[in-house]
Amino acid sequence: MQAASGTKGGSSGSPVVDCQGRAVALNAGSKSSSASAFFLPLERVVRALNLIRDCWDAFGIKSESVYIPRGTLQMTFQHKGFEETRRLGLRNETEQMVRLVSPAGETGMLVVDSVVPEGPAHKHLEPGDVLVHINGEVVTQFLAMETLLDDSVGKEVNLQIERGGVPLTVKLEVEDLHSITPNHFLEVSGAVIHPLSYQQARNFRFKCGLVYVAEAGYMLSRASVPRHSIIKKFAGEDIENLDDLIAVISKLSRGARVPLEYVKYTDRYRNKSVLVTIDQHGWYAPPQLYTRNDATGLWNAKLAIPLESPFVVSHRAGHMDANLNSVSPLTESSPMDLKCQHESENTADGCVKMQTDEEIAVDGSHSGEDSIIEKKRRRVDEEIAAEGTISSFGDLDDIKDGALRHPSSVEGSDLARTISSNASLAEQVIEPALVMFEVHVPPICMLDGVHSQHFFGTGVIIYHSDCLGLVAVDRNTVAVSISDIMLSFAAYPIEIPAEVVFLHPVHNFALVAYDPSALGAGASVIRAAKLLPEPALRRGDSVYLVGLSRSLQATSRKSTITNPCTAVNIGSADCPRYRAINMEVIELDTDFGSSFSGILTDEQGRVQALWASFSTQLKYGCSSSEDHQFVRGIPIYAISQVLEKIISGTPGPFRLINGIRRPMPLVRLLEVELYPTLLSKARSYGLSDNWVQALAKKDPVRRQVLRVKGCLAGSKAEKLLEQGDMILAINKEPITCFLDIENACQKLDQSIDSDGVLNMTIFRQGKEIDLIVGTDVRDGNGSTRMVNWCGSIIQDPHSAVRALGFLPKEGHGVYVARWCHGSPVHRYGLYALQWIVE
């Protein structure tokens, strides 16, 4: 029923009453563009109510569940006027008969609009058929048709129709609508998959029961499988129903990459094929099968696959291997001391074993196998000494002679890329060290304010040996450690997984590890780049900007340094996330745009800087903002220093990398955000001429002084340094740039008697003050703990939150990184732990 009642949204479900207060309809919807509202008649509601009452009366108590018969022929009708039915071929005598037996005022008849494939009416009825009789009774209204079908579930009905003026009689079996309405679904890696319901089958023109993706979740969305897809094949096997899909999943191990074919209703005649990576790191629980319990109204969950299936066994084995893997502490062996003992026990699918929270420890324990480990240490030391820490792809003389080719004697060299002689010398040398990143962040692990779930970027291999490969990349490509990373190599056509092993807390770079054994024959044609941290780049120097296109083609151009020491100034985003602070970057006269990342090399292909992508947020007015990125060069010395510590085995927290526990370096920091001020401005603030001259003499290029923008909450400098302080000297040595402070912090680590404090001279409100300021030691792990509770993600306050300058006193609080919809807790809120517990 339609009425001009002008009801608004939110009133659906309310009763429609007559003048005597009797409910006659249900408010079902309205048109926002007009005052029209639509009311649902109550005849079928009364039928359902009576069936429930009869059931209760029969049992004497309220039954837990009541069956309400619903019949269907898996087809839809439309009510069309007699003028339209005549055009469809309805005979005059049939129309006259219908008018005669129908109630006064009847204006039309029911016409078949659609038929669901492989349903009861499929191949029997067609769109345009005019319904005349059901079981000998003239039916022209939906209510009468529904009544006949609901009362005939499991029985056959005779339909008399006219098709183009030709009378036809068909016999169809009425199907139970409940049987084709899903009462169970599969949840795997965040995806919700269930048999295709009648309602969606009618919309999509597919048959009921097909495997339907209601929500893609993480695993399927990572492979670009959209919602509303129909899965046709998985891992090479045909998928006809949900049981087929569960059977295939139970055979797969975590980390396996298998093909999946699907079809979309918008493009039903073409199957699409993608590669799906089975949840490797255990971000999600094993597949769960949820079944609706009509007695309780709840959905009961159970494990969808057997406990002995490879999917579950591989998940448990990964944790067991991590717990069983133990090595001597760093005093007995360095990270490079352990040769790849996992080569013989590596996983069959070539996937890298990844680290779990339990595998991070600041200290190790003696395993009782000192002699064995010592032998391994000596053997690996010899190999590292012979191999060197970094190497170029080929000899420079070979490159000058012509096109650079991989040695034909190497197995698989026919797949290695031949580098054109038209490319620059730097491009020819460095291309075998370039890597394309594809990074996915699971939705349930959106920590540290990460602003996207999908990233692309270019990295450079800085270490490559038989048991470990390391790649440097910017933190706008690898933002958080909880990521799924796939590497594609420019030198060899292969894609392998990788893991984050180091996130620099200040500088905009991360180190990612891969397993060289997963490269197969490609391991011998891939090389690490040569790093050239000294001499530092200067204004006017020529460099080569080299990177990769999405097709893994190396691209380069010769550019000139316009400014080698521009201070980065990135403001806080609406959602606090990592931003580069206290670092200088390199600017070029020409580049390839804001989305092109890569490296800067000299003419011989030696890496002098990482051409990195930086994330920022542009704000428009008071309320709107937009994510933005730009590219600048990061001098390679910072990366080189971390690499040297990893190779030398500097003490630090252990990480499990390629099945071996290795110590990662710690970083000593002055946790203060600084910014440069010109000496001419500093003089106006009252800085003495002596200090102006001393700072200008120390650094005649920059001619600046560093000022305090703010201290990170919870840092040792928080109570000592104030906003606006000018840092003049550390240990009586003038300070003019961020590198000076980093070097002062590194000297503390090198000193045996160091107590971790800096003797600083600052200028505050017209006075010179000497202070003893403590430093903080941070690791490169990023956030390692979180609580996922009712859809909310709760973690410790990360550095970007601490940079805002506040932490609650009670245990420094917890940070709500993401929240579930409907929760009164504000996103990005910081709450005292005690308050949350209460």
Question: What type of residue sits at position 410?
Answer: V
Angle formed at CA 733 by CA 729 and CA 735, multiple of 5 degrees: 50
Cα distance between residue 635 and residue 798, in whole Å: 26
Q: Which residues are within 8 A (CB) of 293 and not within 5 positions of it... i.e. 6 or more apart?
A: 299, 300
Cα distance between residue 555 and residue 765, in whole Å: 52
Residue whose tokens read 């600052």: 762
Cα distance between residue 175 and residue 103, in whole Å: 29
Please say whether the beta carbons of 724 and 737 come within 8 A: no
Residue in 636, 669, 637 with CA at minimum distance from that of residue 506: 669
CA 448 to each of CA 577, 619, 809: distance values in angstroms, whole numbers, following the listed order: 6, 20, 21
Cα distance between residue 544 and residue 532, in whole Å: 13
Angle formed at CA 807 by CA 802 and CA 813, multiple of 5 degrees: 110
CA 459 to each of CA 78, 189, 401, 453, 612: distance values in angstroms, whole numbers, following the listed order: 60, 28, 28, 19, 9
Cα distance between residue 715 and residue 582, in whole Å: 16
Residue whose tokens read 């979740």: 217
Cα distance between residue 650 and residue 665, in whole Å: 6
Q: Annotate 404-428 with DSSP letters as a single string.
A: B---TTSTTGGGSPPBPTTS-HHHH
Cα distance between residue 477 and residue 756, in whole Å: 33
Cα distance between residue 812 and residue 394, in whole Å: 53
Cα distance between residue 26 and residue 39, in whole Å: 5
Please say whether the beta carbons of 797 and 807 come within 8 A: yes
Q: Annotate 276-337 with DSSP letters as a single string.
A: EE---S-SSPSPEEEEEETTTTEEEEEESS-TTSHHHHHHHHHHHHHHH-----TTT--GGG
Cα distance between residue 517 and residue 348, in whole Å: 11
* Greatest pairwise CA separation for the chain in angstroms: 114
Cα distance between residue 366 and residue 382, in whole Å: 24
* 597 tagged catalytic: yes
CA 121 to each of CA 2, 110, 195, 211: distance values in angstroms, whole numbers, following the listed order: 31, 15, 20, 22
CB atoms within 10 A of CB 829: 12
Cα distance between residue 666 and residue 363, in whole Å: 13
Angle, helices 142-150 vs 43-59, to 10°: value is: 20
Q: Which helix (H) or strand (E) holds 641?
A: helix 637-648
Cα distance between residue 259 and residue 273, in whole Å: 7
Cα distance between residue 481 and residue 500, in whole Å: 5
Cα distance between residue 745 and residue 740, in whole Å: 9
CB atoms within 10 A of CB 499: 22
Strands 137-138 and 130-134 turn out to be antiparallel
Q: Which of 342, 451, 507, 798 is catalytic?
A: 342
* 342 tagged catalytic: yes
Burial 384-408, CB ≥16 within 10 A → b, else e = beeeebbbbbbeeeebeeeebebee
CA 628 to each of CA 257, 452, 483: distance values in angstroms, whole numbers, following the listed order: 33, 12, 21
Q: Which residues are catalytic?
A: 342, 597
